[in-house]
């Protein structure tokens, strides 16, 4: 398996623009997680899905952020409008289920480095 | 609430010497503990975990960690450090008492390990 795939790897945009980050989880994994990593705040969980359904989005910072998972092999994280403070590395991770719960050995993608000017 | 602390931002060790990266945690129930490693421009990779059983857990690349319930610690260790071990290390915890359906991992801020040739 190719592992978790994220695109783009780097994104530079201007304040106010819409940004869409994409993730393809490992085939067969039931859980998908979106994280944000910054120097100041470390690694933060934004939202996670189970079988394409959002389970906990309490980490989503504002209404400007939205995430979808239309099918088992694709998820998007959208920021609209983007702001300079959104600059960070965004990671997608997936995990298989064991007895209905994620294994917690999450498999991370390479991340998308977002810069908002 | 679950939390984890990595008291050292950076650890420097000479190649061939033993290394320790510290982690302490706080949970209301029993802890599920994890170590992940992040190499530059890469996503996090799972190293090892403690769920139950033997307090000494062995993981990938010769790393091991010792669970100490009385000290609420889960320090990462390796008997002989390699230059290639230089990376960012994250400790993570999940509380067994977290609500049904809540599978969040809380990550520490990370410790940068530098192994000096």
Q: What is the mean pLDDT of residues A39-54?
A: 91
Buried-exposed string B63-97: b where 16+ CB fall within 10 A, e elsewhere? bbbbbeeeebbbbbebeebeeebbbbbbbbbbbee
pLDDT of residue A103: 62
pLDDT of residue A72: 94
Q: Which of A29, A34, A116, A104 is nearest to A67 (CA)?
A: A34
Portion of chain A with pLDDT greater than 70, in percent: 94
Cβ–Cβ gap A102/B90 under 8 Å: no
* Measured distance between the N- and C-terminal CA atoms of chain A, rounded to whole angstroms: 36
- Determine the 3-state secondary structure of A10 from DSSP: strand
From B43, B49, B101, residue closest to A91, measured CB to CB:
B43
Backbone angles phi, psi at B47, to 5 degrees: -105, -50
- Residues of B within 8 A of A56 (CB-CB) are 101-102, 104
pLDDT of residue B55: 93
Band (pLDDT 50/70/90 cuts) for residue A77 is very high
Cβ–Cβ gap A101/B46 under 8 Å: no
pLDDT per position as a tens digit, B2-41: 899 999 999 999 999 999 999 999 998 889 999 999 998 8
Cβ–Cβ gap A43/B90 under 8 Å: yes
From A104, A108, A110, residue closest to B32, measured CB to CB:
A104
In terms of pLDDT, which residue wins out, B22 or A105? B22
- Residues of B within 8 A of A42 (CB-CB) are 107-110
Mean per-residue pLDDT over chain A, rounded:
92
Cβ–Cβ gap B105/A31 under 8 Å: no
pLDDT per position as a tens digit, B71-105: 999 999 999 999 999 999 999 998 877 665 567 78
Joined together, the tokens standing for residue B20 give 């320790």
Q: How many CA atoms lie within 13 A of A16 on its CB side?
A: 0
């Amino acid at each position: 398996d190719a592992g978790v795939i994220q695109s783009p790897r780097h994104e530079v945009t201007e304040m106010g623009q819409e940004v869409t980050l994409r993730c393809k989880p490992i085939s067969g994994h039931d859980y998908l997680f979106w994280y944000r990593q910054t120097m100041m705040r470390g690694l933060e969980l934004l939202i996670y899905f189970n079988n394409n359904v959002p389970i906990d989005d309490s980490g989503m910072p504002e209404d400007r952020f939205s995430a979808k998972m239309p099918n088992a092999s694709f998820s998007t994280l959208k920021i609209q409008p983007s702001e300079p403070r959104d600059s960070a590395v965004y990671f997608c991770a997936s995990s298989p289920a064991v007895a209905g719960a994620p294994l917690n050995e999450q498999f991370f993608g390479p991340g998308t480095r977002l810069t908002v000017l | 609430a679950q939390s984890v602390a990595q008291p050292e931002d950076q650890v420097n060790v000479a190649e061939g010497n033993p290394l320790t990266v510290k982690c302490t945690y706080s949970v209301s129930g029993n802890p599920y503990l994890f170590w992940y490693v992040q190499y530059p421009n890469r996503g996090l990779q799972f190293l090892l975990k403690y769920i139950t059983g033997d307090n000494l857990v062995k993981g990938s690349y010769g790393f091991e960690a010792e669970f100490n319930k009385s000290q609420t610690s889960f320090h990462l260790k390796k008997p002989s450090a390699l230059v290639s071990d230089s990376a960012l290390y994250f400790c993570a915890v999940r509380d067994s008492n977290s609500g049904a359906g809540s599978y969040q991992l809380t990550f520490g801020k990370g410790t940068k390990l530098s192994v000096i040739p």
